[in-house]
Structure 1
Amino acid sequence: MPIVNEQCFHCGLPANGSAACTGTIQQTDAPDEEHLFCCSGCLSVCQVIHEAGLDNFYQRLQKYESNITPPPEAPADIDQYDLSEVQQEFTQNLSNGSLQARLMVEGIHCAACVWLIEKALAGMPGIIKAEVNLVHHRLLLQWRAETVSLTQIMTRLAALGYTAIPFNMEHLEGAAHQQNRALLFRLGFAGFGAMNIMWISIALYAGAFSGISIEYRHFFHWISFAIATPVLLYSGGPILKSAWRGVCHGTLSMDLPISIGALATFTYSLWQTIQGGPHVYFDTVVSFLFVILIGRYLEALARQNASASTLRLMELQPRMATRIMADGSEERIAVRKLIPGDLLRIKPGDKVPADGAIIEGNSHIDESMLTGEPLPVHKQRNGTVFAGTVNGENPFIMQVKTTGSATVLARIIHLVESAQGSKAPIQRIADRIAPWFVSSTLLLATLTFIYWWTTLDFNTALLSATAVLIITCPCALGLATPMAIAVSTAFAARNGVLVRNGEALEGLSKITHVVLDKTGTLTTGQMRVTDTLLVDEHDTENSKERLLLLAGAVERGYSHPISKAVCATVVTEGLHFLDCQHAQLLPGMGVSGMVDGQQVWIGNQRLMQQQGIHLPEAISTSCNHIESSMAVPVLVAVDGKLLGILRIEDQLRDEAFDLITNLSQHGLGITLLSGDSKAAANHLQQRLSTHANAPIHVIAGVLPEDKANHVKTLQKSGQHILMVGDGINDAPALTQADISIAMGSGTDVSMECSDIVLMSSDLSRIAWALDLGDRTITTIHQNLTLSLAYNIMLVPAAMAAWVTPLFAAIAMPLSSLVVIGNAILIRRHMRNKRPD
């Protein structure tokens, strides 16, 4: 095979160095070709692109190269992000025809950066939404591709001084490691300079009392200058560049006051050194730069710790899987290459790589990462398993059903990221305040400088103004809300409670009334036969087993919950199903069929009356009693003779009574919506009120379409409603409520119409979610109070010349660390209230 290109096939650079290599590339619709590459890295990337079926990327790239020239500061491969083949990996098509993506943005330092990015992008045509998460440095972007391209958006960000790339786990790990490494190097260099310049300062201060000669003093000043200059340019370089870019674009970032303070102090010290003056503050410049970098490094580590729960969720899915080939052999394959239908062998202790079903073997599966339940779940043939769960003691073979972003784990991660990137209404207060901080800081620093220069001296004016510039920072204010939401949503996800957005957490703290759906919420949603009653106990030809056999034979072909309950009881009792002919469904009444030559009728009293089957008064009384106790009486008759009654009911969950008690202790009103009769509803109300020792209002005979109207009625009375349902037939009511919680089992959770999804059916998590909402809002209020109190107390102190620039440099990052630390305490507080 000839070499097609003399330049690197991937990047286009000359491939004439020692690292140059050749490689065979598999074409989709063409013979394999051998290409030249400048290095093995380009070869590997090219092979991955072709394996993923994106081989036309290079053709499209050549087409776009002549039309798109990215700016020098933009990523070199920025044009590839406009290709549909590439965009499908990180974008989502929304119902309104727009695209949505999450981008990692490098260069964000404070709330002012968030404000700048959001305002700059909001002014571009075609941008629908641009929300920046200060905690994770991510941009949630919605745009119309026909109006503006992603390349233009990323170019605009680059012009502002921010580099944006599509978010994924590998980029996140690499970017975080690179940024922390660079920050650590600058911090170390500043620390080395601070240690050395401090010796010079000690000598100068000591010499002031012992009479050091002018020549030695000037020499030490120049040594201080030699140490401070590289520290200012290298360690403080990113701060100076960020401030300069902001000035060039007519915006004010929080790096501007720091830069002005550092440059003013440095320039004045240099002028004093040239003039031979005694007042030099090179040590102040180096020291507060060193302390600021320490604060930023600690803040980066604290943010990483706060978002660790989300990262652990991402790490749950393994990277490799063992696939069974058609000939029975096995191979190790990357999880991203799995397709539905693949057979995988899962060994004990392995993580399940995709969603699927067991086709051979059985084992206990640890699903705590999905549901929050600590006990493993036993799975056997046809049992559903989910990506990220951990196999227990036995190996098994599974068939892949869904992979990648379609798995339950991927949906959970997407939901958590959406929640962490969202903004609660209370955060808008901080967003409105943050842009005014910089201009206010500059104004206060100017007034401070003028006052002390006119009343005392230039040195006091300079140091006081510098302290004001450094100590005033909206970072703590900007972190107050997003940090609390990030910690809460990630911790909730690890406990089986998925929160869609920050508004849900804030809304939970305002709830005054809870509306509960009965079936599937307070009850298990699974009917079962709890009793079998015979009409004639002395009839030797009839028995409870025969009653179940006849009912099971006719009900076997139907999927109604009552049919499933009867068939499940037949299996549980170890009975064998009889054959049934001429089965017929009688809507609203029951079913019928021929079993062993006998006509069998199964249904309600109306069916029996229609068929002319006599119902003794005692039987009618028993049916009414069963109905009034939340159960369903199913009558069984053969050849015109009534044989007995099957009592079928939906069981209340074990934790239902505790839930009612907890909601009552929260001071919340409780309404239960039930489709049962009035008598059954009264029985349920009495049972719940008695056992839970709490008042509860039950509304009977409610159809699914009427539930939303009941919620609306409560809202008109001034109540803030929390609706809890199964997320399917309760969708209108869940949408109508102020906050909604959908019950889920981890297989088909309703994430569209509800604000919160419970991955398990544990009702105790409802009260736990309410506690989490209260705790989150309390923490946000505490953080806002702390950040405002910090500025209110220390800014006047700096203006009064009571605070040095070094102390200001220490206090500024500490305010952010206090806010972050207080947010992390949410985990500790809620861990003590964990439902399990």
Structure 2
Amino acid sequence: MSGDSCFHCGQPALKASQVTHPINGQSQVFCCHGCAGVCEAIHEAGMDAFYRRTPEGELLSPPPPPTPNADFYDYDEVQSQFVPSLDSRRSITLMSEAIHCAACIWLIEHTLAKLDGVLMAKVNFTNKQIKLRWDNDRVQLSEIIHALNRIGYDATPYDASASEEAYRKANRDLLYRLGFAGFAMMNVMWFAVALYAGADEDPAFRHYFHWVQWAIATVTLIYSGKPFWHGAWKSLKARSVGMDVSITLGILTTYFYSFWVTVDPSHSGDVYFDTMIDFIFLLLIGRYLEAISKNKAMDSTKRLMDLQPKVARCVDPETSEVSVVPVRKLKPGDQVMVKPGDQIPVDGKVLRGTGNVNESMLSGESREIWKQTGMDVSAGTLNLDGTLTVEVSAILQGTMLGRIVSMVEDAQGAKAPIQCTAEKIMPWFVTVVIALAVLSFSYWIVNADLETAMIAATAVLIITCPCAFGLATPMATAVASGVSAQNGILIKNGAVLEVLQQMNHFVFDKTGTLTQGRMQLQETVWVDHIQNDEAEKAHLIEAIVRIEFHSEHSLGKAIVAALQDQYPALKNQRLTLEHFQAHPGRGVEAEWQGQHYLIGTRTWLSQYGVDFPPGLVKMEAERGKTGQTSVWVVRNQQVQAVLFLQDPLRDDARALIDRLKAQGKQVTLLSGDRQAVAESVASELGGMEVIAEVLPDQKHDVIARLQQTQSVVMVGDGVNDAPALARARVSVALGSGTDVSMDCADIILLNNELLSVDTALALSQRTLKTIKENIVSSIVYNVTFVPLAMAAMLTPLVAAITMPLSSLVVILNAARIRRFFHPKAVARREAQLAKASKPAPNKADQS
């Protein structure tokens, strides 16, 4: 590197502020002490390969000042605002505006990987965020921040408002450069019009106007053209070529040709300073519109986070005084008041009050959920009626809404395989473009003149647009991830959108996935002498409710809920007993009004010498084959009744299975239940392959075996499904499932609707279709316009107009995915699926 440029950042190293520092035994020049310190830290860490990586975008800048008061972030009280859990292993999202290229990602991830205690560091270039997980017992957060400062990166905990401000700052800078280029274009046009109108016939006027245009064009090139030539210089410095290289070559070719005409009064050619300024202006318009469109396409995530209030009514538990405080200042255990019409500001548990809450922003379903003391509420949901006092359990990023936003951002930053392929193609694409420009220049300078050759070569350089290859996948993925999250389908990994439509085998867990996951009382069968005695039957029902009310078992709760619904009078009674004892896994024992009751399994009751009616025993065996569970009621050693309960199928389970079969997908039921029960469920769903009596750890092995020949999607909800979900190529968890299953899943159905599996499949197909459309449109654009430019049939000005339009076509096409959940689009898909699922007519019937 020359002595006039900083060895680290490449910026000019002015004589007055130059710093000389030895690096690897050689004296190097730096623009400031900050660059010298950062460069030394990078080389000492063995990360000098950073300078040989392939960066994209702008030049390195001198390092920002160190993060102020970094030690402040070590306090748990401060970290609680940004860290989901204050365990020994913690996670946080940091933001660094100094992240500007692929080399930054490499340097940060490799540097942090060397720190003892850092468990994971993942950089998202799209939003300049660093996802960090560390062991707080081995390394402090301030040490990690200082390590980032040493290699030239500021780092502060992610704050949505700061991120939005950084976006506005970048857009404002681009708008200033655009405005200056527009002002220069209007002014230089007056001189161009005068020359075209005849002023060029007078050599003095012609020479004067050329120099004035040169002065305006030079300032415009330096200021407004900075994004292009900075990007080009960075690419060349890294021994790579990007889109800015071809654009800058076109601009400089036009500029220096016009400058040659200006300094040579005897030259008869025309200057093209006005054309150069025009296409800088037009290219900046394209970039500005592209930046706005990108933000608009990805703002689903921002709108999700905006749903979370920034202030809350904090209640003092001792004085009951209410004060409005920022949510950031709240901590677990605090109490907040939520009035009717307010959005709930935190995740927590209702301490006092009752009311309906609209949770559509989380589940995608516009229905009211009744909340009362002891029930959980989520940040961002709407309190419709009633005043609630809520005990805080999580705030901001730690809430369910915050975790959803984080997952969506990860999905939007993830790279799909097709995107990686496109990024590999881009440097070759630009190289070919430059070769075509040189070929065009060589042809026309032989067959025409220098001016024609220059115009043709510049048009080729300007009109080619490889950006569609780079935008095709991330734009489609970002839009799809954002709009699906708004409709109750959380896609944690953007790459899943590309591969899901290729999956041909769907494996479903039974309990809680295809079924509702909660037992319901199907029928009560009484012994003969009670069947027609209503008074005795009522007495026994009251006894059953009283006894099971004291049970913590899910079967007992299901029985109480069903009988109280049938007999509302039992809801308002004091359900006391003389004696109660639970026998876990077997049943319950109680005494009421001097009578002894046993309620439980027949196997357990047989130990008490109970005589079971043969007809009921036979009925129990038959019902067991269909998946029903029997609970026997015994009073004073005599059987009184049998209660039959069953976990009913989800309402949309059959519809989903039919849809998947209509698309040619293979469907399998994977369950730990008995073979007969699993086959009964499969039969109710229209038939499918059944793999039953599988232990939780064996589900993982079954998925691994199936994936040896097929691509498998696993759909589950429980802890026992987690290994299988982690093993499957694509995994789907229901929002009603456990945290473990959702952590292992690629897609979470927050709306808890099983049919959303098919919706996600259709969204995947739509997303891949959009990606392919974008790539094809880019190819068609280049195949059409590049030959025209090589034939000197297009001017650089026309090229500057059409080039950004091709990028906008890609962005707008990706934005069309937002209409995927429009009611008309949903109705159209439903009609197509109904038609596809309709059985073909029988020829014999037709005849």
**1:481-537: CA deviations, max 9, x gaps?**
111111111111101111111222222111112111121112211112232111123
**Counterpart in 2 of 1:798?**
789
Q: 1:425 aligns with which of 417, 425, 445?
A: 417
Answering whether residue 295 of structure 2 is matched by residue 298 of structure 1, we say no
SS of corresponding position for 2:682:
helix
Correspondent of 1:283 among 265, 269, 274:
274
CA RMSD of aligned residues (A): 3.5
Aligned with 1:618: secondary structure?
Answer: helix
Change (3 A) 1:365 1:96: closer
Q: What's 1:585 paired with?
A: 583
Q: Secondary structure at the match of 2:356?
A: strand
User: Matches of 1:72 and 1:287 in 2, distance apart?
Assistant: 29
Give the match's secondary structure for 1:651: coil
Whether 1:382 and 2:371 are equivalent positions in the alignment is: no
| Alignment counterpart, residue 645 of structure 1, candidates 642, 645, 648 | 642
Do 2:84 and 2:397's aligned partners in 1 also have CA atoms closer than 8 Å? no
CA shift in 2, pair 1:154/1:194, >3 Å:
farther
What do the CA deviations read for 1:102-154 (whole angstroms, capped 9, x no partner)?
5454785xxxx5x55456667768477665545x4656678999899655656
The counterpart of 2:763, out of the listed 766, 772, 792, is 772
Match runs of 1:390-789 below 5 Å: 390-536=382-528, 537=530, 540=533, 543-572=536-565, 573=567, 574-575=569-570, 576=573, 577-579=575-577, 581=579, 583-585=581-583, 587=585, 589-689=586-686, 695-716=687-708, 718-745=709-736, 748=739, 750-789=741-780
Q: Is the 8 A contact 2:246 2:434 kept in 1?
A: yes
Q: Which residue of 2 aligns with 1:180?
A: 171
The CA distance in 2 between the partners of 1:142 and 1:341, in whole Å, is 25
* Structure 2 residue identity aligned to 1:772: L
Match of 1:263 in 2: 252
| Secondary structure of the structure 1 residue equivalent to 2:631 | strand
| Corresponding residue for residue 32 of structure 1 | none
Give unpaired runs (5+ residues) of structure 2: 1-33, 42-59, 115-119, 831-847
Q: 1:334 to 1:746 in 2, by over 3 A?
A: farther
Q: Deviation of residue 212 (structure 1)?
A: 3.0
Amino acid aligned to 2:390: M
* 1:601–1:638 contact (8 Å) kept in structure 2: yes
Q: 1:313 aligns with which of 298, 304, 308?
A: 304
Which amino acid is the alignment partner of residue 608 of structure 2? Q
Identical columns (%) = 40
Tell me the distance in 1 between the aligned counterparts of 2:597 and 2:216. Answer: 99
Letter in 2 for 1:585: H
Whether the 8 Å contact between 1:92 and 1:99 is mirrored in structure 2 is yes
* Range with greater deviation from structure 2 (568-577 or 369-378): 568-577
Q: Supply the AA of the counterpart residue of 1:579.
A: L
Quickly say closer, same or farther: Cα 1:343–1:511, change in 2 above 3 A: same
Match of 2:344 among 330, 336, 352: 352
State the distance in 2 between where 1:749 and 1:119 align.
Answer: 31
TM-score, normalised relative to structure 1:
0.82
Q: Which amino acid aligns with 1:531?
A: E
Which of these residues, 347, 360, 372, is aligned with residue 364 of structure 2? 372
Task: Please tell me whether the aligned partners of residues 551 and 588 of structure 2 are also in contact (alpha carbons under 8 angstroms).
Answer: no
User: SS where residue 558 of structure 2 aligns?
Assistant: helix
3-state SS, counterpart of residue 524 of structure 1: coil
Match of 1:227, as an amino acid? I
Matches of 2:91 and 2:339 in 1, distance apart? Answer: 40
With over 3 angstroms needed to count, the CA separation of the structure-2 counterparts of 1:107 and 1:223, relative to structure 1, is farther
State the 1:463 CA deviation: 1.9
CA change 1:280–1:584 in 2 (3 A) is closer
Distance change (3 Å), C-alpha of 1:829 and 1:540 = closer
- 1:518 maps to a residue whose letter is K
Alignment-derived partner of residue 48 in structure 1: none
The verdict on how the C-alpha distance between 1:157 and 1:366 changes in structure 2, with shifts beyond 3 A counting, is same
The 3-state SS of whatever aligns with 2:752 is: coil
The change in CA–CA distance for 1:257 and 1:140 in structure 2 (over 3 A counts) is: farther
Matches of 2:562 and 2:85, distance apart in 1:
46
Contact 2:250 2:461 in 1 (8 A): yes
CA distance change for structure 1 residues 246 and 669 in 2, over 3 Å: closer, same or farther?
closer
Match of 1:230 among 196, 204, 219: 219
Identify if the C-alpha distance between structure 1 residues 686 and 251 changes in structure 2 by more than 3 Å, giving closer, same or farther.
closer
Task: Look up the SS of the partner of 2:495 in the other structure.
Answer: helix
Q: Deviations over 1:192-234 (max 9, x none)?
A: 22223223323323328xx832223223222322332222222
* Aligned counterparts of 1:67 and 1:235: Cα–Cα separation in 2: 32
Letter in 2 for 1:459: E
The amino acid that maps onto 1:256 is V
Question: How far apart are 1:382 and its partner, in Å?
Answer: 2.4
Q: How does 1:808-827 map to 2 (within 5 A)?
A: 808-827=799-818
Contact 2:721–2:741, Cα closer than 8 Å, also in 1: no
Separation in structure 2 between the aligned mates of residue 107 and residue 711 of structure 1, nearest angstrom: 40
Structure 2 Cα separation of the partners of residues 793 and 107 of structure 1: 37
SS in 1 for 2:204: helix
Per-residue deviation at 1:557?
Answer: 4.3
1:228–1:800 distance in 2 versus 1, CA, 3 Å: same
Structure-2-length-normalised TM-score: 0.81
d(CA) in 1 for partners of 2:419 and 2:816? 19
Partner of 2:48: none
* Corresponding residue SS for 2:292: helix
- The farther-off stretch of 441-450 and 123-132 is 123-132
Amino acid aligned to 1:581: H
CA separation in 1, counterparts of 2:374 and 2:600? Answer: 32
Q: Which of 216, 223, 226 is matched with 2:205 structurally?
A: 216
Quick one: distance in 2 between partners of 1:453 and 1:506? 47
Partner of 2:262: 273
Question: What is the one-letter code of the residue matched to 2:301?
Answer: T
Aligned partners of 1:118, 1:453: CA distance in 2, in Å? 44
In the alignment, residue 236 of structure 1 is paired with which amino acid? G
Deviations 1:556-584 (A, max 9, x none): 44432212212333543342434152514
Question: How much does 1:426 deviate?
Answer: 1.8
Distance change >3 Å, CA 347–CA 817, structure 1 → 2: same
Deviates more, 1:783-792 or 1:497-506: 783-792
Deviates more, 1:75-84 or 1:735-744: 75-84
SS in 2 for 1:821: helix
Kindly provide the amino acid, as one letter, of the partner of residue 624 in structure 1. A
Corresponding residue SS for 1:502: coil
Q: CA shift at 1:788, angstroms?
A: 3.1
Q: What code does the residue aligned with 2:579 have?
A: Q
State the distance in 2 between where 1:800 and 1:306 align.
37
Q: CA deviation at 1:96?
A: 13
Gap runs ≥5 in structure 1:
1-63, 690-694
In structure 1, the partner of 2:27 is none
Distance (whole Å) between structure 2 residues aligned to residue 123 and residue 318 of structure 1:
37
Give the distance between the partners of 2:150 and 2:783, measured in 1 at CA: 39
**Residues 519 and 143 (structure 1 numbering): CA distance in 2 closer, same or farther, change over 3 Å?**
closer
Aligned length: 754
Residues of 1 paired with 2:516 and 2:252: CA distance?
A: 68
CA contact (8 A) 1:542 1:643 kept: no
Residue 97 of structure 1: CA displacement? 8.5
Amino acid at match of 2:264: Q
